[in-house]
Amino acid sequence: MNKLFEDVINNIPDYKVFLTVDEMDASSHKLAEEFPEVVDIFEMGRTRNNHPLYCLKIGNGSNNALMFGLPHPNEPIGAMMLEYFTRELASNEALRKELDYTWYVVKSWDADGTKLNENWFKGPFTLYEYSRNFFRPAGHQQVDWTFPIDYKKLHFHNPIPETKAMMNLIDEIKPKFIYSLHNAGFGGAYWYITGETRDIYDDLRNSATKQGVPLSLGEPEAPYCVAYDPAIYQSLGIRQNYDYLEKYGIENPEKSINVGTCSADYALEKWGSFTLLTELPYFFDERIKDLSESDLSRKDAVLKSLEFTEESDKYILKTLNIIKPYSDERNPFRLALEAFTDNAENNTATKAMVSENPDFLKNATVAEEFDNLLVTKFYKMLSYGLLVRASETELTKMEETNEENQDKKSTLKQAFDSALEHLKDLSEELEEKINYQVVPIKKLVAIQLECGLLVADYLQKNKVHS
């Protein structure tokens, strides 16, 4: 990596908290005021709650690049990277010239959803605090999973306003490079890229290891992920999900897919854009990179994970059914849970896959066992957090409107107490079984920024076939 890029990375501030949407908006306006000859700010659209979506345009290079933070509203690492990078771009002419892009930057794409996560943005950063204040919308309400698509029998043409705004921007600027800024909750670092670019794989992995963040070498995020190299995967679109369900015996997969595709898929198909995702954890345990052999077969590890998930989902659905008559059908936490517990066909396909695929007969690595038996439980904590908030939202509304309905209040309170107890019990179990570390924000920003610089620079200097 060249000296200029190293200096930029070494100057990242020691961030202690994440910024709220309002703080990011104010910062973007301030940057445009400070650097009027270099930075423009414009409103690219509005959210469903009518919050303005701001885009910064910085520089005047030979190709267009698009970066967006918070495509999932519980993933603010990328927003902090953009907070730093936009100021560095605006003030550093040498950096702008070296990269030679016109940059379009959206710090908070799902602004509405981000506001529902802000209670944990200032810490403390614990498994419980994160899951208790967690929000992620149902797939059909996710800004990066409602892009239109026609594939086999799947036809989706219902993009939400935030998605339409990004579609219009992509179609207008036809970006050469897109950086979609996601992050995982627990585990290690891994990457999604549009096409094979083997020259930079070691550099990508090294960006994490030199910051002390392990690679994620357990199970991939989805069973249909295509690995180019350890911890480096081909970008995911909805086509892969469809083909996976079809391959393992699900008739009419389109009936269980109620989302569209993602920005990476859309921009590649229309404009040949190359997309990078750098997935990073808030928390990690060293076992996520342990490739030594465990005593459990990989098949049994996956089946144990599915068994736990199915039992947890039964409890969640039972509780949801109890509170449904007393909750608004637009309650975002209820909608999210209804989507996240609709896993029957994916689970059926996974059981078929682990029975048919010989790779699952061997003993699991320690990383794979840890992923299946404990990381799975961490992600289920997030669903318990949503369940707590589904009841809490309705109870808060009753309080604010002075609604007197004792049956409703009693039912919601019982559901709230039960969900909170499940969340606390699972939190205590994981605090005991997982020796986790919290990754400093500065290190996470450094990894995401270094990877973005590496890929942006590589694409400018090499012909890459997406």
In which element (H, E) is residue 157 found? none
What is the amino acid identity at position 427? S
Bridge-based pairing of strands 274-279 and 363-365 is unpaired
Q: Which of 462, 466, 383 is CA-nearest to residue 422?
A: 383
pLDDT in tens, 167-215: 999 999 999 999 999 998 888 999 999 999 999 999 999 999 999 999 9
pLDDT in tens, 370-419: 999 999 999 999 999 999 999 999 999 999 999 999 999 999 999 999 99
Share of the chain above pLDDT 70, in %: 99
On the question of pLDDT at 343 being above 80, the answer is no
pLDDT band at 465 (very low <50, low <70, confident <90, very high): low
Task: Please state the rounded mean pLDDT for residues 80-89.
Answer: 98
Predicted TM-score (pTM) of the model is 0.93
On the question of pLDDT at 464 being above 90, the answer is no
Task: Please state the rounded mean pLDDT for residues 436-458.
Answer: 97
Strand pairing partners for 41? 56
What is the amino acid identity at position 167? M
Per the CB < 8 A criterion, the answer to whether 405 and 398 are in contact is: yes
pLDDT in tens, 130-155: 999 999 999 999 999 999 999 999 99
Q: Which of 264, 87, 88 is CA-nearest to residue 175?
A: 264
Measured CA to CA, the distance from residue 219 to residue 355 in angstroms comes to 16
pLDDT band at 262 (very low <50, low <70, confident <90, very high): very high
